[in-house]
């Protein structure tokens, strides 16, 4: 099952559509950098964070937790059998985090000062944002180091290979530590907002809830990727299916922990009423909770079917739930005072879509050219 | 008895008791002295053990400082000052002339050795051995050193004596220097200004008289009671600055309405002085440069007055004006529009469709008995 490049044509309807999306995003990004974000985005003084933070950074890095979640399993829990899934997961993580990090620049009003964060004399160590920013920046580096054997294998860089063989354990250790820090801190960011976040989401357990859901997202995304890649590249899932089944189970138990923690926390804080009386927010809460619960039911009930479709749908439900959880916590559950509104503008959405498109496009190009996916010959001609 | 002394003073100065006590209270307030200091001052002035001898030197200057002092309009202030101090040498006010005047200086210096107050008005030229200013055949440099040697206190009055003033403006052909550049072994109190406010000088002298010591000074020798705040801080037009209302040229609408003069080059934001608090000329409110509609030109401040062009923008020392001001009506964002909602719906729909199709394909795949177990 040594990883192999899958080869094949680059130009297809999918890649063409993705390229158009990227070009559109480039157009709007140019507008944003030339005329300021007022010209493309609906973010305002009441809602300084829109989808460029909530989606591109918070959800983007959450979706990129596959590498982290697998590293926990493979290297910490010593389950070597999951190793074939590591490379694709790392690739998605590296892309997700790199683009998440870059997209912060879109959201910085004076983006030309972005490098200030890297200089100690500009840093304020009481700030959650400094922690997140530095940690994410460091993790992006670590991810590319973790991914570098793939590039070294392809291009025959013997030196890099020797170096990573010797020191990879350090990168792996950091690759487990850093996301634990910043994925929980993404939740801490909201604690700072205090009463402006609806009590359905505001809790001192936000860091833990964000961390658990990020790890669960990691497993879900690995399952999602394996299924999508198999369908998209018309590869058999035969070899990966047992691994996917086990990962799904781990994810389901994480979700049980998440749901229990969340409900008990709401109960203890005495905010049960808010689950029913907060109008649209209550509705969103229930949609979220339903989506969190569905995978548990699908995966852990004794009568559930054990096939790829179940795992795929369970992963989708989990991902949707975690995405909604973050959007709700950052945007829907956020109220800064009367009169303030936010809904992403079309150009704003197009920039975010463009970033997603770059990610998918990059993934397609990489798996075609580099030894990423576990190797077995495509079972159907294409 | 204090009461008797005041009554005696009334007779001596031809000054009403009420007016005298008001003057003492005003001096105490100018210096920011604690309650009760006005009584101490009154006692000190009314019953000087011995009137302190004052030697007043003039060098490179215009005598504006002396003029300003003489024009102090508190009741007979010049008379009061001339009665409570013994002004033993002052070229502008002397009846004597020539060697007679110089002899009076030497006599006073000898008689009050170590006890007299030296007041210096004007800068001292030091270039070419100081030949550019001579009195009675002696250079200003020598006279200053001579007089400073045995002085109990040295006060530099006016910007010229305090930091060089107008004569030191580049290219400074005579090497005009302030007193404290020459006298380094004694503290020199500086009362900069062109002219300085007479009450800052009087307050300093009276403080010395009352407490036997000079008031607290900053590193440039300026009494803190007068020079520790920027003009900008107490300016009556400050509210206009903060609100962004500026006179843009002389005589325009804003200028006539009394707006801030910052954009006409007012140096208030970088000049330390108490002009807006104690005003000039004893004629009531508005009687200081900014009050009359002219930008402050920073006469008390080294590196500002006589140095920066009058209409150059000041370097704001404390509060920098924002690049823009908050809008009166803040935009509060817009909710979902038809377009944005449609895009979100389209993306969600596409994703759902793709997911459904994909799940369908997977179903086919896994149904060829490749199920997990």
Contact A76, A176 (CB under 8 A): yes
Task: Return the CATH number at A332.
Answer: 1.20.1630.10
Closest partner CB to B370 (pick from A45, A241, A339): A241
Report pLDDT for B325. 74
In Å, how far is B321's CA from the nearest CA of chain A?
Answer: 19
Closest partner CB to B333 (pick from A46, A231, A307): A46
Residue A147 pLDDT more than 50? Answer: yes
In Å, how far is B342's CA from the nearest CA of chain A?
Answer: 9
Mean pLDDT of B7-26: 73
Question: Which of the four pLDDT bands, split at 50, 70 and 90, describes residue B373?
Answer: very low
Chain A residues with CB-CB distance to B under 8 A?
42-47, 227-228, 230-232, 236-238, 241-242, 244-245, 306-309, 311-313, 316, 339-346, 349-350, 353
Report pLDDT for B209. 79
Residue B193 pLDDT more than 80? Answer: yes
State whether residue B118 is helix, strand or coil: strand
Is A360 within the bounds of a domain?
A: yes
CA dihedral B315, B318, B320, B325 (to 10 degrees): -150
- The predicted-structure confidence for B327-345, as pLDDT tens digits, reads as follows 788 788 888 889 999 999 9
With beta carbons under 8 A apart, name residues in chain A contacting B325.
none
308-347 in chain B: CB under 8 A from chain A: 330-337, 339-341, 343-344, 347
Residue A260, C-beta contacts closer than 8 angstroms, at least 6 positions apart = none
CB burial string A81-100: b at 16+ within 10 A, e below? ebbbbbbbbbbbbbbbbbbb
Q: Which domains occur in chain B, in start order?
A: 2-226 (3.40.50.700), 229-322 (4.10.480.10)
With beta carbons under 8 A apart, name residues in chain A contacting B347.
349, 353
Report pLDDT for B162. 94
- Please tell me the total count of domains within chain A: 1
Average pLDDT, chain B: 84
Average pLDDT, chain A: 90
Report pLDDT for B280. 86
Residue B177 pLDDT more than 80? Answer: yes
Mean pLDDT of A148-160: 88
Report pLDDT for B363. 63
In Å, how far is B361's CA from the nearest CA of chain A?
Answer: 7
Taking an 8 Å cut-off on Cβ atoms, the answer to whether B372 and A242 are in contact is yes
Mean pLDDT of A193-208: 94
Is A382 within the bounds of a domain?
A: no
Find the residue in B nearest to A340 (Cα): B332
Closest partner CB to B340 (pick from A44, A231, A344): A344
Closest partner CB to B340 (pick from A45, A309, A346): A346
- The predicted-structure confidence for B351-365, as pLDDT tens digits, reads as follows 899 888 888 877 665
Q: Give the separation between CA A50 and CA A27, rounded to whole angstroms.
A: 20
In Å, how far is B370's CA from the nearest CA of chain A?
Answer: 6
Report pLDDT for B83. 67
- The predicted-structure confidence for A54-90, as pLDDT tens digits, reads as follows 999 999 999 999 999 999 988 888 888 888 888 889 9
Is A163 within the bounds of a domain?
A: yes
Closest partner CB to A228 (pick from B344, B358, B371): B358
Among A227, A300, A360, which would you mutate to test the B interface (most chain B Cβ atoms within 10 Å of its Cβ)? Answer: A227
Residue A53 pLDDT more than 50? Answer: yes
Contact B198, B68 (CB under 8 A): yes
Report pLDDT for B362. 78
- The predicted-structure confidence for B106-145, as pLDDT tens digits, reads as follows 988 898 888 888 999 999 999 998 899 998 889 999 999 9
Contact B89, B120 (CB under 8 A): no
- The predicted-structure confidence for A323-375, as pLDDT tens digits, reads as follows 999 999 999 999 988 889 899 999 999 999 999 999 999 999 998 988 888 87
Of A311 and B208, more confident: A311
For the record, the structure tokens of A112 come out as 């030309």
Find the residue in B nearest to A311 (Cα): B359
Name which of B224, B228, B68, B221 is nearest B153 in CA terms: B221
Residue B74 pLDDT more than 60? Answer: no
In Å, how far is A133's CA from the nearest CA of chain B?
Answer: 27
Q: Tell me, what's the ipTM?
A: 0.82
Among A21, A247, A304, A346, which would you mutate to test the B interface (most chain B Cβ atoms within 10 Å of its Cβ)? Answer: A346
Find the residue in B nearest to A226 (Cα): B362
Is A381 within the bounds of a domain?
A: no
Is A257 within the bounds of a domain?
A: yes
Report pLDDT for B59. 92
Mean pLDDT of B260-276: 93
Residue A111 pLDDT more than 60? Answer: yes
Report pLDDT for A376. 59
Range of the domain at A197: 3-374
Residue B86 pLDDT more than 70? Answer: yes
Contact A70, A223 (CB under 8 A): no
Closest partner CB to A308 (pick from B339, B343, B365): B365
In Å, how far is B371's CA from the nearest CA of chain A?
Answer: 5
Residue A35, C-beta contacts closer than 8 angstroms, at least 6 positions apart = none
Distances in whole angstroms, Cα of residue A232 to Cα of each of A12, A227, A235, B16, B229? 11, 8, 8, 106, 74
State whether residue A10 is helix, strand or coil: coil
Residue A28 pLDDT more than 90? Answer: yes
For residue B251, the Cα-to-chain-centroid distance in whole angstroms is 27
Distances in whole angstroms, Cα of residue A189 to Cα of each of A132, A330, B26, B136? 9, 9, 57, 79
Is A135 within the bounds of a domain?
A: yes
Taking an 8 Å cut-off on Cβ atoms, the answer to whether B334 and A341 are in contact is yes
Is A167 within the bounds of a domain?
A: yes
Question: Which of the four pLDDT bands, split at 50, 70 and 90, describes residue B90?
Answer: confident
Is A247 within the bounds of a domain?
A: yes
Question: Which of the four pLDDT bands, split at 50, 70 and 90, describes residue A382?
Answer: very low
Residue B285 pLDDT more than 60? Answer: yes
Report pLDDT for B78. 56
- Put simply, whether the predicted model's pTM sits higher than 0.80 gets the answer no
């Amino acid at each position: 099952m040594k990883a192999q490049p899958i080869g094949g044509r680059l130009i297809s309807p999918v890649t063409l559509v993705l390229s158009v999306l990227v070009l559109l995003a480039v157009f709007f990004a140019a507008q944003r950098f030339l005329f300021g974000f007022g010209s493309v985005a609906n973010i305002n003084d009441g809602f300084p964070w829109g989808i460029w933070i909530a989606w591109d950074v918070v959800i983007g890095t959450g979706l990129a937790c596959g590498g982290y979640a697998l590293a926990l399993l493979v290297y910490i829990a010593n389950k070597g059998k999951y190793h074939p899934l590591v490379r694709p997961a790392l690739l998605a993580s590296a892309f997700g985090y790199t683009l998440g990090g870059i997209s912060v620049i879109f959201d910085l009003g004076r983006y030309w000062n972005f490098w200030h964060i890297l200089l100690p004399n500009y840093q304020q160590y009481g700030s959650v944002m400094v922690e997140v920013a530095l940690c994410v920046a460091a993790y992006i580096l670590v991810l590319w180091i973790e991914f570098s054997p793939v590039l070294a294998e392809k291009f025959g860089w013997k030196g890099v290979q020797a170096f990573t063989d010797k020191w990879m354990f350090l990168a792996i250790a950091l690759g487990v530590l850093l996301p634990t820090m910043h994925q929980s801190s993404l939740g801490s960011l909201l604690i700072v907002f205090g009463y402006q976040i609806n009590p359905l989401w505001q809790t001192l357990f936000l860091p833990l809830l964000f961390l658990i859901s990020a790890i669960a997202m990691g497993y879900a995304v690995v399952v999602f990727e394996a299924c999508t890649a198999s369908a998209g590249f018309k590869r058999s899932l035969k070899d990966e299916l047992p691994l996917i089944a086990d990962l799904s189970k781990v994810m389901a138990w994480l979700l049980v922990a998440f749901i229990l923690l969340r409900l008990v926390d709401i109960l203890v804080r005495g905010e049960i009423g808010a689950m029913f009386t907060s109008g649209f927010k209550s509705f969103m809460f229930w949609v979220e909770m339903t989506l969190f619960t569905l995978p548990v039911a699908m995966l852990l009930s004794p009568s559930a079917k054990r096939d790829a479709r179940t795992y795929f749908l369970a992963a989708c439900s989990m991902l949707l739930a975690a995405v909604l959880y973050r959007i709700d916590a950052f945007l829907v559950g956020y109220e800064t005072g009367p009169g303030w509104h936010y809904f992403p503008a079309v150009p704003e959405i197009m920039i975010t879509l463009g970033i997603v498109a770059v990610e998918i496009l990059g993934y397609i190009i990489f798996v075609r050219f580099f030894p990423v996916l576990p190797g077995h010959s495509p079972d159907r001609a294409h | 008895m204090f009461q008797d002394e005041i009554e005696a003073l009334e007779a001596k100065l031809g000054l009403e008791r009420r007016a005298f006590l008001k003057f003492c209270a005003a001096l105490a307030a100018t210096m920011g002295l604690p309650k009760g200091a006005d009584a101490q001052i009154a006692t000190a002035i009314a019953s000087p053990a011995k009137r302190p001898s004052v030697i007043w030197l003039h060098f490179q200057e215009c005598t504006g400082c002396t003029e300003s002092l003489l024009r102090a309009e508190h009741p007979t202030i010049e008379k009061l000052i001339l009665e409570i101090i013994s002004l033993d040498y002052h070229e502008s006010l002397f009846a004597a002339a020539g060697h007679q005047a110089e002899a009076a200086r030497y006599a006073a210096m000898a008689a009050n050795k170590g006890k007299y107050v030296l007041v210096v008005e004007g800068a001292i030229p030091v270039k070419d051995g100081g030949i550019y200013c001579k009195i009675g055949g002696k250079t200003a440099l020598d006279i200053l050193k001579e007089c400073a040697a045995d002085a109990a206190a040295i006060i530099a009055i006016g910007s010229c004596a305090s930091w060089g003033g107008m004569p030191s403006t580049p290219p400074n052909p005579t090497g005009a220097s302030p007193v404290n550049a020459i006298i380094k072994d004694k503290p020199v109190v500086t009362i900069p200004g062109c002219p300085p406010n007479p009450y800052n000088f009087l307050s300093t002298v009276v403080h010395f008289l009352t407490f036997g010591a000079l008031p607290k000074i900053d590193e440039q020798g300026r009494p803190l009671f007068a020079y520790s705040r920027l003009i900008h801080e107490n300016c009556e037009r400050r509210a206009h600055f903060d609100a962004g209302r500026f006179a843009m040229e002389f005589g325009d609408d804003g200028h006539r309405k009394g707006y801030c003069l910052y954009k006409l080059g007012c140096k208030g934001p970088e000049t330390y002085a108490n002009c807006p608090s104690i005003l000039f000329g004893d004629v009531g409110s508005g009687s200081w440069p900014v009050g009359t509609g002219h930008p402050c030109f920073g006469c008390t401040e080294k590196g500002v007055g006589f140095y920066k062009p009058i209409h150059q923008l000041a370097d704001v020392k404390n509060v920098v004006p924002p690049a823009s001001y908050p809008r009166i009506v803040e935009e509060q964002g817009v909710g979902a529009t038809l377009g944005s909602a449609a895009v979100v719906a389209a993306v969600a729909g596409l994703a759902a469709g793709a997911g459904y199709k994909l799940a369908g394909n997977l179903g086919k795949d896994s149904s060829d008995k490749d199920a997990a177990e």
